[in-house]
Structure 1
Amino acid sequence: MKTLTVIPARYASTRFPGKPLVLIDGVSMIERVYRQVQKSKKSNAIIVATDDERILNHVKDFGGEAMLTNANHPSGTDRCFEVYDYLNADFDLLVNVQGDEPKLAPEAIDSLIDFMEQNPMPIGTLARKANEPSEYQNSNTVKVVFNKQQQALYFSRSPIPFYRDKASSEFYQHIGIYAFKKEVIEELRKLQPSKLEQNESLEQLRWLDNSFNIGVELTTYRSQGIDTPEDINKL
């Protein structure tokens, strides 16, 4: 599959304004993410989708590709769809990589693309089996439950599944990378934000709400997203 990878990078983050430009050991977060995506063996093109000229110019300064997009998109994926439409190129697959994962494993991207090539799912994402009590309770750690066919049933910031009869913190951590086959993009971009999406602040719930299957590929990659300034120290 010919694959376009888009990295949405919004400047006006509520919890961490200017997050894509924060320096981590002298290198900006968005450059670190971009460099990791460049190591992917299966991504054919990479572009940063941003709402801010500071990010646009910074990406161009370090030699990356970037595009200025509408500032009013309700989600990062909507920003990716704008880039896909603008390029109007013959890509079979659109991959959305979060702009706040500076230690993203390129192997994770390649495994998701492999998964989409081998399965009929219109949308795909990644999940990692985990058992950290603090992360199980952490609302910044998104959890996913899925069926035996590896189709997502629900994503939540709450601890899921709930263990009624035993003490356990085993769960599947959602890794925020998405892949979309070209035939489903036009349908998805017409959808309005749903109540579940707005309640949890999770864009993928819009697709489940509208009966689109999301395939879940398992990975051992551990997500280390940056949500707050304090997360830089943890990283």
Structure 2
Amino acid sequence: MKIISMIPARYSASRFPGKLMQDLGGKTVIRRTYEATVATNLFDDVIVVTDSPIIYNEIVDNGGKAMMSRKEHECGSDRIAEAVEDLDIDIVINVQGDEPFTEEASLRKLIEAFKNDVNNEIDLASLMVHITQEEEINSPNTVKVIVDQNNFALYFSRSPIPYHRDKNVPIKYFKHKGVYAFRKQAILDFYRLPMLPLEASEKIECIRYLEYGKKIKMIETSVEGIEIDTPEDLERAKKIWK
């Protein structure tokens, strides 16, 4: 089984333009993410795929591997699908470019899910973290996920799901952590299938898989890390890095 990691990296970002080139402990955020992913020693290859010559040069000039996208893409999955279409691989793991605290244990769990999937039921796997803070549960910036008894995703939403109508029923809320592992065919299918209304409404790309009947295995992890979406996130990351 050949397993690679792809790190999709856009220079522009609506909430924090140029965030991947910001300094984090003497290196850029994207370089920190790339080096953390390589350091796990889990992959046959690690490649940054980007639309930006600035990011491409940052990785290549520091001894890393990068590819330039040929087309403009609306999401990271589309960017990865274009990049892997002609590669001889089985599994590709999407590590977000703004996740410099990427660590081995969670990624290993994703890989093990596929190795243990003897019936090839899993189209893709992703991570979820148990959350308890009301502010985070209610925040539209936090994508929540609900799962079935076998931890296959039922739905993702920016709204609090499930709605806790009966307070006597104990409920756990899970945050979706944006690290994905795909079978190659699943991500190529995603690339070719049009966006449907639920995905368009929530702006959550993995809903497309559910709308077309794909199965997403969710893996619980206790490692939340920091996604650098805002300048405030970067300041928190700097404190943790120190």
TM-score bucket of the superposed structures, by smaller chain:
over 0.9
The CA deviation string for residues 60-97 of structure 1, in whole angstroms up to 9 with x for no partner, is 11211011104521210110111102xx2321101111
**1:97 equivalent in alignment to 2:98:** no
Sequence identity (%): 36
Structure-1-length-normalised TM-score: 0.93
Alignment partners' CA distance in 1, 2:110 and 2:11? 27
Asked if the contact 1:103/1:224 (under 8 Å) is kept, the reply is yes
Question: Which AA in structure 2 matches 1:122?
Answer: D
Q: CA deviation at 1:198?
A: 1.9
Q: CA deviation at 1:106?
A: 2.1
Question: Which AA in structure 2 matches 1:148?
Answer: Q
Structure-2-length-normalised TM-score: 0.91
Range 119-128 or range 182-191, more displaced? 182-191
Query: Match for residue 123 of structure 1?
Result: 124
Query: Match for residue 146 of structure 1?
Result: 147
Number of matched pairs: 233
The CA deviation string for residues 115-161 of structure 1, in whole angstroms up to 9 with x for no partner, is 12112301111112221222112222211101012110111111112
**1:27 equivalent in alignment to 2:27:** yes
Query: Match for residue 159 of structure 2?
Result: 158
Q: Where in structure 2 are the equivalents of 1:6-155 lying within 5 Å?
A: 6-85=6-85, 88-119=86-117, 120=120, 121-155=122-156
Alignment partners' CA distance in 1, 2:73 and 2:197? 16
Query: Match for residue 218 of structure 1?
Result: 220
Alignment partners' CA distance in 2, 1:103 and 1:113? 18
The CA deviation string for residues 154-212 of structure 1, in whole angstroms up to 9 with x for no partner, is 11111112111229884111111111112333322211122222221111011111111
Alignment partners' CA distance in 2, 1:169 and 1:117? 31
**Pair 68,9 (structure 1): closer, same or farther in 2 beyond 3 Å:** same
Alignment partners' CA distance in 1, 2:62 and 2:84? 22
Q: CA deviation at 1:223?
A: 3.6
Alignment partners' CA distance in 2, 1:169 and 1:224? 25
Alignment partners' CA distance in 2, 1:163 and 1:213? 26
Q: CA deviation at 1:38?
A: 0.9
Asked if the contact 2:33/2:98 (under 8 Å) is kept, the reply is yes
Alignment partners' CA distance in 2, 1:175 and 1:154? 14
Unaligned runs of 5+ in 2: 238-242
Alignment partners' CA distance in 2, 1:163 and 1:201? 23
Alignment partners' CA distance in 1, 2:214 and 2:157? 17
Alignment partners' CA distance in 2, 1:43 and 1:22? 26
Asked if the contact 1:74/1:193 (under 8 Å) is kept, the reply is no
Question: Which AA in structure 2 matches 1:82?
Answer: E
Alignment partners' CA distance in 2, 1:24 and 1:198? 33
Alignment partners' CA distance in 2, 1:146 and 1:179? 17
